[in-house]
Amino acid sequence: MHKVRCFECGADVEDPLLDSCPKCGGLLTIEMDLDAAAGIRPYDLRKRPLGVWRYAPFLPVDASKAISLQEGGTPLYDCQNLVGKMGIKRLHVKYEGANPTGSFKDRGMTVGVSRALELGCGTVGCASTGNTSASLAAYAAKGGLRCVVLLPSGKVAAGKLAQAMFYGAKVVMVDGNFDDALAVVKQLARERELYLLNSVNPYRPEGQKTVAFEIVDQLNFEVPDRVILPVGNAANIWAVYKAFKEWRSLGWIDRIPMLTGIQAAGSAPIVEAFRSGKRDFVPEEHPETVATAIRIGNPASGRKALRAIFDTKGYAESVTDEEILAAQKLLGRSEGVGVEPASAASIAGLLKLVDSGIVSRDEKVVCICTGNVLKDPDTVMHSCEGILKAKPTAKDVRRVIS
Ligand code: AN7
């Protein structure tokens, strides 16, 4: 059992099709009833394979009817080569690029699309910088639902666009940025044209909580000191916070890591708010960054993100496009882990915060790397060394590689 509540005023919200509080307009969140989970011992969960549905007692939909592509269960890499280069003690990377559609969005989408079916909705939709649309298109296909995705014109990485088209969504490019597209799709949802599956839908973050559960599970219930992740529309950092809070309330863990959000310098309203100590933010009118996934100026869940950061004594930092691309290559070339630019923001942020002394060298850090390098091949082609050309002879190949 669970309830949908207003994050701001705490009112219970009964209408399952709303995306904000009817009383105050606040964001919605889900209050899980953890009584059933209270009877479980953490290690009992391991009877199910690592993945989103291992944590079914913490999810607000019926697991036996879930629309699943076996999401989650992603690797937690112990980055021994990188720690040497960074001068820190321990770093794990949670590699969300290993999800079915190549990003963390699948964790929320398995829950969100399952919810859409519970409600009997025939059409689902979202606005997206790319990954949400790729994921929704796949889960809608699996669930037999019609799918409409609104994308910001010209700013979606090739891999993501290809996925949304491939899985059969109606792909609509809107002449505007993500924030404009989100406003339009919210209106379509209010007009009952579609069921909204952006992360303002509180069922999405519930699935996304499982990345935090898995991290703790994979570390055998040792809690890291800090978790660093990129922030775009700002729901994922909230989801991670909520997960840690639920497990702490059950006594499964005794503390919550310092949650640290990283934004791109051209698109950093949460970082600005954090710097001025405010729990609310001023939208960035013209967000710009090579990390198109997080090219978002008006993060819908920004207030939730700021609560997660302040309540855990975490931090928020911005990184330049150059720092993002350098970190992306550093991770690939020292650990063999390929992530898209937005995901590399977490690594770039860690480097910057170690340099500035905010992250101390003996902290145990986990960086969540949210999406796969294959999502955005164009950026890789532009940022890496050129391709060598040779005649089809050993001699000539030896010449060009020497
Ligand atoms: C790789 O797909 O917003 O802070 O529409 O694709 O929870 O928004 C993507 C976001 C980080 C930011 N990393 O997460 C979308 C979209 C990657 C992403 C984020 C996104 P949030």
Task: Give the relative orientation of helices 321-335 and 341-355 as an angle to the nearest 10 degrees.
Answer: 100
Q: In what order do the strands lie in the sheet with 258-264?
A: 76-78, 90-95, 364-369, 226-230, 258-264, 315-319
Decide: 177 in ligand 1 pocket, CB within 6 A: no
Q: For residue 387, what are the CA distances in angstroms to 48, 118, 277, 326?
A: 45, 51, 47, 19
Residues 197 and 133: their CA atoms lie apart, in Å, by 9
Q: Which atom of ligand 1 is nearest to the CA of 340?
A: 1
Q: For residue 59, what are the CA distances in angstroms to 30, 87, 177, 205, 210?
A: 10, 38, 32, 10, 9
Report the pLDDT value the prediction gives residue 120, as an integer from 0 to 100.
98
The DSSP code for 386 is P
Residues 255 and 400: their CA atoms lie apart, in Å, by 55
Decide: 261 in ligand 1 pocket, CB within 6 A: no
Atom 11 of ligand 1, nearest CA residue: 230
Q: Which atom of ligand 1 is nearest to the CA of 371?
A: 1
Distance 402 CA to ligand 1 centre (A): 41
Atom 14 of ligand 1, nearest CA residue: 232
CB within 8 Å of 217: residues ≥ 6 apart:
42, 45, 46, 50, 54
Distance 135 CA to ligand 1 centre (A): 11
Distance 235 CA to ligand 1 centre (A): 8
Residues in the chain: 402
Distance 131 CA to ligand 1 centre (A): 7
Q: For the purposes of burial, counting CB atoms within 10 Å of the CB of 147, is it exposed (0-12), middle (13-18) or buried (19 or more)?
A: buried
Q: Which of 95, 166, 157 is nearest to 130 (CA)?
A: 157
Decide: 318 in ligand 1 pocket, CB within 6 A: no
Decide: 232 in ligand 1 pocket, CB within 6 A: yes
**76-114 pLDDT, tens per residue?**
999 999 999 998 999 999 999 999 999 999 999 999 999
Report the pLDDT value the prediction gives residue 359, as an integer from 0 to 100.
97
Q: Which atom of ligand 1 is nearest to the CA of 128?
A: 5
Name the one residue in this structure whose structure tokens are 């997206």. Answer: 128
> Which CATH number describes the domain made up of 76-96+204-383?
3.40.50.1100
Distance 153 CA to ligand 1 centre (A): 17
Decide: 338 in ligand 1 pocket, CB within 6 A: no
Atom 18 of ligand 1, nearest CA residue: 293
Decide: 129 in ligand 1 pocket, CB within 6 A: yes
Report the pLDDT value the prediction gives residue 157, as an integer from 0 to 100.
97
Residues 58 and 1: their CA atoms lie apart, in Å, by 10
Distance 401 CA to ligand 1 centre (A): 38
Distance 296 CA to ligand 1 centre (A): 9
Report the pLDDT value the prediction gives residue 36, as an integer from 0 to 100.
82
Q: Which atom of ligand 1 is nearest to the CA of 199?
A: 7
Decide: 235 in ligand 1 pocket, CB within 6 A: yes
How is residue 222 written in tokens?
């040792």
How is residue 225 written in tokens?
């000191």
The amino acid that residue 164 corresponds to is A
How is residue 129 written in tokens?
């910088």
- Relative to beta strand 123-127, strand 146-152 is parallel
Q: For residue 27, what are the CA distances in angstroms to 18, 60, 144, 211, 384?
A: 10, 17, 29, 22, 41
Residues 399 and 193: their CA atoms lie apart, in Å, by 62
Distance 130 CA to ligand 1 centre (A): 8
Mind giving me the DSSP string for 181-249?
A: HHHHHHHHHHTTSSEE-STTSTHHHHHHTHHHHHHHHHTTTPPPSEEEEE-SSSHHHHHHHHHHHHHHH
**279-322 pLDDT, tens per residue?**
999 999 999 999 999 999 999 999 999 999 999 999 999 999 99
> Ligand 1, residues 94, 103, 136, 228: which to mutate, most atoms within 8 A of Cβ?
103
307: left (phi over 0), alpha (psi -120 to 50) or beta: alpha
How is residue 377 written in tokens?
């091949």
Distance 373 CA to ligand 1 centre (A): 14
The DSSP code for 365 is E
Beta strands in 231-337 (DSSP E): 258-264, 315-319
Distance 179 CA to ligand 1 centre (A): 13
Domains of the chain by residue range: 76-96+204-383
Decide: 236 in ligand 1 pocket, CB within 6 A: yes
Residues 210 and 232: their CA atoms lie apart, in Å, by 19
Residues of the chain with confidence (pLDDT) below 70: none
